[in-house]
Chains A and B, each alone.
Chain A
Amino acid sequence: MIEVKNLKKTYDGREALKGISLAIKDGEFYGLLGPNGAGKTTTISILSSILTADSGEVIIGNYNLEADPKSVKKIIGVVPQEIALYNELSAYQNLMFWGGLYQVPVTELSKRTTELLKLFGLEDRKNDKVKNYSGGMKRRINIASALLHQPKVLFMDEPTVGIDPQSRNLIFEVIEKLHENGMTIVYTTHYMEEAERFCNRIGIIDNGQIIAEGTLDELKSANAVKETIAITFSNLEESNLKEIASFWNDIKQIENTVHFYSSNVKADLSKLVLQCPQLGLEIINIEILKTNLETIFLTLTGKQLRD
């Protein structure tokens, strides 16, 4: 469905994309995971033909983007990272306007608008001006605005930034429904929970390059990632930390909790439970953190996904 070869893009001398290649199958849910400034939005902008790449080739649904951008634009929907709506218009008016740009007949458009408003739980607020909406409600309309022409491919650029859990869950459900109905989705995020929850395949992008790609399991096994034992103590002094470090070098302290990184949780867990009380530390909680994208990312780049 989507075929991207060696995309490069430079902004005023700074390389934002250093050769991105992707192959995404029909109906696939592809996650593009990366920290701030990795090049996610740049990639999406090029794929949606509002930005031209310096070099590289993009084919979406059998159309070459450069040769036939109009055909590509007809079959894609884009949810931009920033909320892009007319604040002075109502949700209904916004949806009708955005759908109108795709030549959907008015009666059909009105029907779809009503359906989408229902789907996103905003039917009773549809005539309110968007500017009076909460952040979460705006996000919902921001997504709905990309769906009126029933695109085959949907690009979503961090669609859940800064919203309340209720809106988030609702959006997740809608996204899952869209995927079940066969839509191809490219989803960028720096929340690994989201990538883990939805994505068939994940590409990890950093500094304008895809540094790893595969299913979650593939990524885990390929990267020999350690798991995390998080132990919370009743009190933790600077001196305790030094003592711990003397027998366990791969640690991280977060307030009264210490993360011990381990490649063999079972063995290490009993070791820690014995050793820590010997230092005079009282354990009040133990948690095993499953390997996730964050740890994979950390292993790959030595950086946190989020600051």
Chain B
Amino acid sequence: MIKLAIKDLKLFFKDRRSMLLTFAIPIALITLFAFAFGGAGRSNGDTKISLLVSDLDHTATSKEVIKQFDSLKSLQIKTLPLEDAEKAIKKGSESCVLVIHKGFTDSLKSGAALPLELKYDEAKGMEVGLLQQSLIPTLSMLPFSLGNSKEAMGNKLAKMTGTSNPQVRQTIQTQSNNLFDAISKGISENGSKKKNNPTKSFMGGDIKMTKLVKATNDNQLGLIQAVAGTAVMMLLFSVVGIGMGLLDEKQEGTLKRLLYSPMDPLNILFGKMISANIISIFQLLIMFLFASVVFGLDIISHLPGLLITILATAFACSAFGVLLASFAKNRQQVQGLSTLIILVMSAIGGSMIPLFIMPAIMQKAAVISVNYWSIQGFYDVFWRNLSIFNPTFISRILVLFLIGIILNSLAIVMFRKNILKLT
């Protein structure tokens, strides 16, 4: 088995085309996406996304909100009348405007949905997505940071439970008040620790999820997206290439010769799996190393999480490659099929377009792709800064391993059925 894997590795590193596919093209793509998503060269925070704001509410509260946005490192706020702002967007000189509609303050107090609107230029979706991402933490914290909201939160919670029973409402209000105090305390503690970063993201923006998470790396979001998205997509392409080695062996007759020997035929598949895993791990390491050296992605302080995610991703993806190869009859068949599957998975899984700027329904559909779990894993590590013991992170890693196990088992079945059958 090991001998087979070593042989595969030798063959792999001799093949210039697969080296190009595995290393050079992904590096080029990462560079491209890193600039496209604006992650490159922004690690010291001196380039800012500019955001136009039109305040139609004209209250003290709305002004306070604008001030909060302005204090964000990644944003450059300009207030303009709505008409002028829209003109600028149509002209192409600005990408979007945040409109604070009338009634904002009242809604904030009553806990109703906030009348905010982001009017944007569709062609600049990428930038807007990044913008949205940096607004969400502040927005979701507004009820807390602008005071007078204990009641608002209680109202909102009660509304969510849909009850009209006054006793239940009372209980909710009490509970909510306690929660509110705890969170406010958390904010002020965090705030005093890091003065220059007053907002902490409030994951998901849903009041029900009350966990406070540090998100200090938000200006690296574009870079993480570029590296993780591209690396996973390209990894899928290269593992399919490795899997196709099985079909080459069949076509060139070496499979027959392997079968003449006394070893168990399944070792041929296991050897492939091992070499696919080794190459995958190697490829991912190189990609992140590249991102670290060239774009300053901090891999050192995230090393354990990074390595775990790389292992899980490599395992899931190489199983995918081996399975595809054992399904098909010949190289051409795999090539067509795999390109289609990989492109679709990458598109819905967030490899090409960041998931957070996709509509909610697409974000839900993303879970069927390997890319999703893996990219989210990398987000957890680099952006959400989750520890490796965090249940969310662990669950993603487990999903990846589970995917790997299922695909590998299927591959064994298909290998027996398709590849070993020489008739």
Does B bind A? Answer: yes
Q: Which residues of A contact B (CB under 8 A)?
A: 11, 45, 48-51, 70, 73-74, 76-78, 80, 82-89, 93, 97-98, 100-102, 145-146
Interface: B3 (CB within 8 A):
yes
User: Can you give 30 A-B contacts (C-beta < 8 A)?
Assistant: A11-B423, A49-B259, A50-B260, A51-B422, A51-B423, A70-B262, A73-B260, A73-B261, A73-B262, A76-B260, A77-B260, A78-B257, A78-B260, A80-B253, A80-B256, A80-B260, A84-B254, A84-B257, A86-B11, A87-B252, A88-B10, A88-B14, A89-B7, A89-B10, A89-B11, A93-B10, A98-B257, A101-B3, A102-B262, A145-B257
SS of A interface (majority): loop
Most chain B C-beta atoms within 10 Å of own C-beta, residue among A48, A97, A145: A97
Bound complex: CA A93 to CA B7 (Å): 9
**New A-B contacts (14) at CB < 8 Å, excluding given A11-B423, A145-B257:** A45-B422, A50-B260, A51-B422, A78-B257, A80-B256, A84-B252, A84-B254, A84-B257, A88-B15, A89-B11, A97-B7, A98-B257, A102-B261, A102-B262
Interface: B258 (CB within 8 A):
yes
Q: Which residues of B contact A (CB under 8 A)?
A: 3, 7, 10-11, 14-15, 252-254, 256-263, 422-423
A82 contact set on B, CB distance < 8 A: 253
A145 contact set on B, CB distance < 8 A: 257
Bound complex: CA A78 to CA B254 (Å): 12
Bound complex: CA A86 to CA B254 (Å): 7
> Which residue from chain B places its CB closest to the CB of A151 in the assembled complex?
B260
Bound complex: CA A97 to CA B254 (Å): 11
Bound complex: CA A88 to CA B261 (Å): 21
* Set B14, B15, B254, B422: member contacting A85, Cβ < 8 A: B254
B420 to chain A, nearest CB (A): 9
A48 contact set on B, CB distance < 8 A: 260
A83 contact set on B, CB distance < 8 A: 253
A101 and B253 contact, CB distance less than 8 A: no
A106 to chain B, nearest CB (A): 11
A101 and B422 contact, CB distance less than 8 A: no
A144 to chain B, nearest CB (A): 12
Bound complex: CA A48 to CA B259 (Å): 9
* Set B3, B14, B252, B256: member contacting A50, Cβ < 8 A: B256
B423 contact set on A, CB distance < 8 A: 11, 51
A161 to chain B, nearest CB (A): 13
> Which residue from chain A places its CB closest to the CB of B265 in the assembled complex?
A50
Most chain A C-beta atoms within 10 Å of own C-beta, residue among B15, B260, B423: B260
Contact A88-B11, Cβ < 8 Å, known A73-B262, A74-B262: yes
A80 and B262 contact, CB distance less than 8 A: no
A13 to chain B, nearest CB (A): 12
A98 contact set on B, CB distance < 8 A: 257, 261
> Which residue from chain B places its CB closest to the CB of A75 in the assembled complex?
B262
Bound complex: CA A80 to CA B254 (Å): 10
B118 to chain A, nearest CB (A): 55
